[in-house]
């Protein structure tokens, strides 16, 4: 089922996901089904990788290598093995999508921020209607909880769209550092509890608060949610976190972490193949194998 019993020939394009651990990844399932659906002579494998540098030296030298996804713990370390890096990915300091050009050079992207930001933009359009041209995030007050890898992705992504970014984090130093880099404002988590200067704000949780098994926790008390028109949670286990439930009850549009996950996959597929992603197929498979 995973590899659709494909015949591998010398000209078969080889893709994969590198990580450690990597066996749990559903990417091979999604990408192999997608390649098959359009008749691409390509396969997508799990690559259990210890030493990223050694891996990329080999990978950029072999003709059948075409691209790979990159997950924990290699998203940062892989940067130094690239020939070309998307400017925002470079600022974020993490990559998850690598394309091998025919000349062997490696170009890297970060599709996590694109997936999250596009899901949030669509949520805002749902709320306010579509206005062509400008991003619905332009001028919005955008509060990011957390300053780790996901926090950086959301903060840089929102800043790039013209949002006014606030970064709040348990360790305040990290919030300050990130806020400075994106031209935003830093706060403590306690300060965000009493921060409601205007209506129509956007909230993005990237902390692990509320993640399984501690599903009763929330990074921000319900009373503090009243001025947010949209709340996103990067957590996807569980899909419906306490934060999202309480935001829904408060009347906000909610955007699930699963949406970031699936959309980052659409972007990877586009970068790998130059084709539009088979979105319905991806969604169906993700639900079936949740």
Which residues of this protein are in contact with ligand ATR, per CB under 6 A?
A: 146-151, 169-171, 174, 206-209
Strand partners, 185: 166
Taking the least distance from each CB to ligand ATR, the nearer of 16 and 151 is 151
For residue 213, say if its preceding peptide bond is cis, omega within 30 degrees of 0: yes
Report which DSSP code applies to 8.
P
Taking the least distance from each CB to ligand ATR, the nearer of 79 and 209 is 209
CA distances from 88 to 55, 105, 182 (A): 24, 19, 11
Catalytic residue selected from 75, 91, 140, 152: 75
How far is Cα 146 from Cα 192, in angstroms, rounded to an integer? 12
Closest separation in Å from C-beta 170 to ligand ATR: 3
Taking CB atoms, the residue at the shortest distance from ligand ATR is: 148
Closest separation in Å from C-beta 196 to ligand ATR: 20
Taking the least distance from each CB to ligand ATR, the nearer of 151 and 265 is 151
Closest separation in Å from C-beta 169 to ligand ATR: 5
What is the CA angle 165-170-174, rounded to 5? Answer: 60
How far is Cα 61 from Cα 54, in angstroms, rounded to an integer? 11
Taking the least distance from each CB to ligand ATR, the nearer of 149 and 184 is 149
Which parts of the chain are beta strand (E)? 13-19, 42-48, 65-70, 84-85, 97-100, 106-109, 141-145, 164-168, 185-187, 201-205, 228-233, 253-255
288 is catalytic: no
Closest separation in Å from C-beta 8 to ligand ATR: 34
The residues assigned a catalytic role are: 75
């Amino acid at each position: 089922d995973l590899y659709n019993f494909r015949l591998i020939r010398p000209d078969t394009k080889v893709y994969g996901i590198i990580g450690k651990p990597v066996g749990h990844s559903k990417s091979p399932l999604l990408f192999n089904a997608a390649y098959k659906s359009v008749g691409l002579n390509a396969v997508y494998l799990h690559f259990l990788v210890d030493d990223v540098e050694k891996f990329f030296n080999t990978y950029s030298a072999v003709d059948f290598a075409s691209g790979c996804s990159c997950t924990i713990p290699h998203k940062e370390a892989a940067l130094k093995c690239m020939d070309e890096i998307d400017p925002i990915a470079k600022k974020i300091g993490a990559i998850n999508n690598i394309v091998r050009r025919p000349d062997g050079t490696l170009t890297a992207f970060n599709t996590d921020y694109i997936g999250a930001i596009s899901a949030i933009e669509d949520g805002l359009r749902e709320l306010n209607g579509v206005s062509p041209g400008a991003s619905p995030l332009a001028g919005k007050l955008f509060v990011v909880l957390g300053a780790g890898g996901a926090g950086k992705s959301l903060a840089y992504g929102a800043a790039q769209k013209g949002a006014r970014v606030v970064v709040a984090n348990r360790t305040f130093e990290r919030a300050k550092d990130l806020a400075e880099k994106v031209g935003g404002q830093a706060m403590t988590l306690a300060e965000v509890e009493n921060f409601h200067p205007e209506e129509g704000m956007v909230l993005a949780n990237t902390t692990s608060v509320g993640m399984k098994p501690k599903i009763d926790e929330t990074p921000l008390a319900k009373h503090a949610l009243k001025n947010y028109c949209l709340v996103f949670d990067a957590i996807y286990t569980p899909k419906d976190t306490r934060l999202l439930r309480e935001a829904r009850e408060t009347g906000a549009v909610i955007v699930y972490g699963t949406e970031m996950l699936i959309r980052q996959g659409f972007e990877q597929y586009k970068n790998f193949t130059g084709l539009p992603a088979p979105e319905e197929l991806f969604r169906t498979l993700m639900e079936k194998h949740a």
